[in-house]
A and B are shown apart, each in its own frame.
Chain A
Amino acid sequence: DVKVTQSSRYLVKRTGEKVFLECVQDMDHENMFWYRQDPGLGLRLIYFSYDVKMKEKGDIPEGYSVSREKKERFSLILESASTNQTSMYLCASRLQGGVSPLHFGNGTRLTVT
């Protein structure tokens, strides 16, 4: 069974702090994704990565960056957290190509005060 693990379930940070959200998958998946989930807006794609050292902007990359130094780990970085980044963050991974579905972690609920 694929396991996608997000390091924190809940985080509370202050405005202006640098925040790291970590995600690890154990199935050697090439592709990894960060989404944020907000009520009524569904999931919106922030960044994704096709493979190690690769990264692509999603639909809402502003205020975020990512790092993929190892295949199993994909980190989301909030350079200077703001209150409008309070949200649920979901990490996902998939095998390259075809119908391979996304496998999701349980999410990190981030509150920025």
Chain B
Amino acid sequence: GEDVEQSLFLSVREGDSSVINCTYTDSSSTYLYWYKQEPGAGLQLLTYIFSNMDMKQDQRLTVLLNKKDKHLSLRIADTQTGDSAIYFCAVMDTGRRALTFGSGTRLQVQP
């Protein structure tokens, strides 16, 4: 089945850019998502990208997709303390129509 990998932890200073990386194994994946989880809450959809796109920008968020390397990244510009959370990469398993998630990257923003 699909395997999705992320690093577990990232620390940045307030105002810097954050880049969270993700790799996946199934080249037929059609939709790729980024979710955010704040303490004590469920997951909230941040953004998504179709596999026929290379890049998507949405305000402070930029998603880059390298299909050849099966690499997805999320860039957060001007990172704020309110961006501190766990960020999950998720890939649509087109066979099951279910999402496979990475382990999550905990982003810590230092004031």
Q: Which residues of A contact B (CB under 8 A)?
A: 4, 31, 33, 35, 40-45, 48, 50, 56, 58-59, 90, 92, 96-97, 99, 101-107
Does chain A have a CB within 8 A of B24?
no
The tally of CB-CB contacts under 8 A between chains A and B is 54
State whether A42 touches B102 (Cβ < 8 A): yes
Q: Is the interface of B mostly helix, strand, loop or mixed?
A: strand
Q: Which residues of B contact A33 (CB under 8 A)?
A: 98-99
- The closest CB in chain B to the CB of A59 belongs to B1
How far does the alpha carbon of A96 sit from the alpha carbon of B98 in the complex, in Å?
A: 11
A-B contact list, 22 entries, CB within 8 Å: A31-B97, A40-B8, A41-B103, A42-B6, A42-B104, A44-B101, A45-B98, A45-B100, A58-B98, A90-B42, A90-B43, A96-B97, A99-B48, A99-B50, A101-B48, A102-B99, A104-B35, A104-B42, A104-B43, A106-B41, A107-B41, A107-B42
Place the interface of chain B in its size category.
Answer: 20 to 34
Q: Which residues of B contact A35 (CB under 8 A)?
A: 101
State whether B102 touches A106 (Cβ < 8 A): no
Does chain A have a CB within 8 A of B60?
no
From A35, A42, A90, A105, name the one whose CB has the most chain B CB atoms within 10 angstroms: A42
Q: Which residues of A contact B103 (CB under 8 A)?
A: 40-42
